[in-house]
Amino acid sequence: MIAKTRCKCTVIVKEDNGVWKISSTTLDHNHPLGPHSETKFLRTHKYMSTEEKTMIRTLKKVNTPTRNMVAILSYMRGGRANLSYDDKDVENYSYKVGREHTMNDMTQMLQYFSDQQAQSPGFYYSVDMDNDYKVRNIFWADAEAREYYTTYGDCISFDTTFLTNKYNLPFALLVGVSAYANTYIFACAFLRDETADTFSWVFGQFPGWCNVEGNRFDVSRNNTQKLLVSCEENTGRKNGDRGFV
């Protein structure tokens, strides 16, 4: 339990011609001093070494849970009581590392797409960005998938996953079925959300993605909204529910 006692204990330090000097001190506390075992909870006493941060980064790469990270770090320090930080500090640093990996993953993905397009002119990708130039949606299809669409694209199934990836983004698949009941993937997309505007953007990639003149589908927002309403009436799913077909 933490309570404010308005302790007047202070140490005042002032600079005088480039030299720091203690000008006054008040060392009287109005509360008992905390035991040494609890000093690690003070912000000024928390410390995480470079080696420990490197270990957290390594464990983060293999998706190690925070509780297991703490157990490993405790073993390295010779016991939980010797840690100069708590579980929340480990979790916060792990989250920071995860954010860095996310940005790096996005950069690597865009570079990979650019390299693929340079190697294979049939590779197609498109990126939707917001006003701050942050990626909202990504759509891609390789040359083979586009050829599949040309052959089997009369009927398309469009479905999204239930945020099963570590980025918590809906993953969309556009697939078709041949006369022999074989399933073919036409294209993939990572989406910011599952709204009519986002789906309109996905369907709007068809003119540039298809290997045919024009577009087989009306991809206007009004038509997309009608499609969503029709889906709700026939499946009971509402816009935003996982699994739009």
Q: 3-state SS of 89-151?
A: HHHHHHHHHHHHHHHHHHHHHHHHHHHHHHHCCCCEEEEEECCCCCEEEEEEECHHHHHHHHH
Domain boundaries, the chain: 10-100, 122-235
Count CB neighbours of 84 within 10 A: 16
> For residues 194 and 202, what is the distance between their CA atoms, to the nearest angstrom?
11
pLDDT computed for residue 236 by the predictor: 45
pLDDT computed for residue 207 by the predictor: 72
- What is the model's pTM? 0.51
pLDDT computed for residue 40 by the predictor: 67
pLDDT computed for residue 149 by the predictor: 85
The kind and range of the H/E element at 177 are: strand 171-177
Using alpha carbons, list the distances in angstroms from residue 166 to 17, 62, 192: 55, 12, 14
Q: Look up residue 196 and give its two tokens.
A: 């009519």
pLDDT computed for residue 229 by the predictor: 44
Q: Look up residue 197 and give its two tokens.
A: 């505007």
The kind and range of the H/E element at 153 are: none
pLDDT computed for residue 164 by the predictor: 63
> For residues 10 and 20, what is the distance between their CA atoms, to the nearest angstrom?
16
pLDDT computed for residue 1 by the predictor: 56
Q: Between β-strands 10-16 and 19-26, what pairing exists: parallel, antiparallel or unpaired?
A: antiparallel
For the chain, give the number of residues: 245
For the chain, list residues with pLDDT below 50. Answer: 212-221, 223-245
- At 78-105, the pLDDT tens digits run 888 888 888 888 988 888 887 776 666 7
